[in-house]
Structure 1
């Protein structure tokens, strides 16, 4: 197993594994923030539009790290019925969690897109890209939100991931592409030589560069 130099290197190596999608009507969606530099390289290789998928997980009351659902743009809400039953959460508690997270979701959308419209997903192949998968909870929620927003096919693509989580995600996405699935996996960052936090400004710049390329 070899490390990636940084997210750009990871994106280029991941893009090589996705060339079979070149003939499809593809939209590449990066999970902010660290997934966007990876997704930028994938979108460039596939000559596909780039956007972000902004989601917020809905935490179980008194146990917010456990997601009972997620929300996305366009009023989309997906619910994990099994977790809701296990936690005994009511519809009122789901609604309250949604109200809390909706404001943060809208603030993030405005921060990253700067007023640009969301790229429509209806009937298209959506390639969801992150810089890696540990537990898979965010990727799972993103797959469900993309489908609820009209994606015809959902491909999850990451440079590195936990083998157990990647196996679980194959049941949620139509296709999962992962460059490296190390047997001894502890954290995404250990598979990168350089893994500093991606600032909001970099996300905005990459999205604007991709939008200019599409217009050009």
Structure 2
């Protein structure tokens, strides 16, 4: 299955999440930037608030698209230990790259939320949304962050994920809703006809 664009993916996911419509204490959190477009369509369909959780990938040396790990806006760091060990990624590199991504997170918090931190999540059902998951490092950092927020229930909703990511992540959450986990997973963008980059101003507009 190939999605027309992120909006199309969001609408299809919303149908699978229809049982949450109009529920009290429900919030949809999108992972910026691409995940926010998908999350926006879900929040609109379920008639609930939309917010974001800012998580940044810690790129592999020389290949920033491959995740050596990820860091969230609350400071939670999750490393892909297999990749780090297999390729001997140094602690100095990881520390430097983590610090660089924390600077970008601070910039986005200012831009997207006017400097405010994570919204109050205790006791809520959280639907965490991205536009797709390959290695799962970003999703794992987001999940670790949310588990520290005393939430009532965690649902992960994705248009597409690798089978490896599903195997690792699905058992760690209360509900896993993923429209497809194709064999021989390629880059997330390969499952969209239109995978145009979402810009900062798009995220700000959707949050408003």
Q: Is the Cα–Cα contact under 8 Å of residues 76 and 144 in structure 2 kept in the other structure? A: no
Match of 2:31 in 1: 31
Match of 1:180 in 2: 180
Match of 2:76 in 1: 77
Q: Is the Cα–Cα contact under 8 Å of residues 14 and 179 in structure 1 kept in the other structure? A: yes
Q: Is the Cα–Cα contact under 8 Å of residues 109 and 117 in structure 2 kept in the other structure? A: no
Classify 1:95/1:205 alpha carbon distance in 2 versus 1 (closer, same or farther; 3 Å).
Answer: same
Shift, 1:55, TM fit: 2.1
| Aligned-residue RMSD, C-alpha | 3.0
SS across alignment from 2:168: helix
For 1:53-96, what per-residue CA distance to the aligned partner results, in whole angstroms no more than 9, with x for missing partners?
012356799999422x63323xx43556967x967988x99877
For 1:144-184, what per-residue CA distance to the aligned partner results, in whole angstroms no more than 9, with x for missing partners?
11122332221110111112211211122221100122223
SS across alignment from 1:36: helix
Match of 1:46 in 2: 46
Q: Is the Cα–Cα contact under 8 Å of residues 158 and 177 in structure 1 kept in the other structure? A: yes
Q: Is the Cα–Cα contact under 8 Å of residues 10 and 38 in structure 1 kept in the other structure? A: yes
The runs of 5 or more residues in structure 2 that have no matched partner are none
The residue correspondences of 1:53-64 to structure 2 (distance < 5 A) are 53-57=53-57
Q: Is the Cα–Cα contact under 8 Å of residues 78 and 141 in structure 2 kept in the other structure? A: no
Q: Is the Cα–Cα contact under 8 Å of residues 128 and 156 in structure 1 kept in the other structure? A: yes
Q: How many residues align?
A: 203
Match of 1:194 in 2: 194
